[in-house]
Amino acid sequence: MSPHEGDAPQPAPAALPSPGGPPLAGLTLDELRDVLVEMGEKPFRAKQVYQSVQQRGVIDPGEMTNLPTALRERMAATIRPATQLVETQASEDGTTKFLFQLADGKRIESVLIPEAGRNTVCVSSQVGCPIACVFCASGVAGLIRNLTVAEIAEQVLHVRAHLGERPSHIVMMGMGEPLLNIDNVIAAIRLWMDRDGLGFSPRRITVSTAGTPSKVDRLAESELGVNLAISLHASDDETRGRLVPGSPSGRTRGLIDAGARYARSTRRDVTVEYVLIAGENDAPHHADSLASLTAGRHIHVNLIPLNPVTHRPDLKAPSGIAATGFANRLRDYGVSVTLRTQRGEDIAAACGQLALERSLSEE
């Protein structure tokens, strides 16, 4: 507890001192064993430490009370977590945002969405984002940097500690473009899936991407078997170039083709996310070309009426009637479609992405 607690306003906490050893939460069991042996410890300690971190979410070595005091103190002297929880913010409907500070002072967010017996955690993969979707707050400042494996993995461990139990689902729909940080994202997913760790089924993990076909193929080659969501938002290159300017141009069909290949390799439908924006991508001809891209290809289309964002007050969601018409037009082509209803104002104001988190967690 801060000695100044209660004094307001408080300056931001100082950045974490730079750690002498690697943050534990980013290490596999083998890597952790190497670190401990290097410190002169017995190899069998590795599993104890690993399970404290990955199963119980104790990311600070100083808090590992199951370890001998000497080992705990030696680790605590040099090893720090990669993230520090700065603030939690609970919304009226139980959605909770977690704000983290990284060792270099940068900040990221995760969101916990409790709903219908599920606890979905929405995880960030980068500080900022290079894709710059016109309706998304994360891309406004561009890409700052990739997150490390520990910075990605610890977000789930913090939420696990907050809940007192493992969250049920993980979606990579926070800040950043996960497939542009694919190595670290895959490493974090492997940690979450490890039976000596949180033991997540890949069916409960979703990677969401606005990114490139070759990276989608790489995710398929990893054979993790996680769910894939493609942030398409447009059905032709011209519109997509406008709404999703940071994605490679001329790749709308290529991205869908990669999604269809992914669906074949995992034998599960891929979700296409399509944020509906009045006058931008909601005309009947947009529905026609979206249907021609997706019908009969194991692709489910998730239509999400835009949540208003402060940096683009000119962008609006279509009327309910227009959105329903767009959905029905797709259905007439045999496309499997979900039209999401608009969310509460407090959530919309807090984070546009929440609409999608909620929508996927309903499935």
CA atoms within 13 A on the CB side of 133: 24
How far is it, in rounded angstroms, from Cα 178 to Cα 171?
11
Residue whose entry in the numeric block shows the structure tokens 């669906």:
263
Q: State the CB neighbour count (10 A cutoff) for residue 271.
A: 26
| Backbone angle region of 348, left / alpha / beta, with phi > 0 → left and psi within -120 to 50 → alpha | alpha
* Known catalytic membership, residue 351: yes
Question: Closest separation between CB of residue 30 and ligand SAH, Å?
Answer: 30
- Decide if residue 177 touches ligand SAH (CB under 6 A): yes
How far is it, in rounded angstroms, from Cα 18 to Cα 280?
46
- Closest residue (Cβ) to ligand SAH? 352
> Which listed residue (122, 154, 351, 357) is catalytic?
351
- Contact window for ligand SAH (CB under 6 A) among 14-22, 112-120, 263-271, 304-312: 304-312
76 vs 278, beta carbon nearer ligand SAH:
278
**Do 108 and 102 touch, CB atoms closer than 8 A?**
yes
- Decide if residue 356 touches ligand SAH (CB under 6 A): yes
- Decide if residue 188 touches ligand SAH (CB under 6 A): no
* Known catalytic membership, residue 133: no
127-166: which residues touch ligand SAH (CB under 6 A)?
131, 135-136
- Which pair of tokens denotes residue 193? 């899936």
> Which listed residue (109, 154, 273, 280) is catalytic?
109
CA dihedral 161, 21, 182, 239 (to 10 degrees): 80
36-95: which residues touch ligand SAH (CB under 6 A)?
none
How far is it, in rounded angstroms, from Cα 339 to Cα 298?
18
262-281: which residues touch ligand SAH (CB under 6 A)?
273, 275
200-239: which residues touch ligand SAH (CB under 6 A)?
208-210, 231
Which positions are catalytic?
A: 109, 351
For ligand SAH, the binding residues (CB under 6 A) are 131, 135-136, 173, 177, 208-210, 231, 273, 275, 304, 306-307, 309, 352-353, 355-356
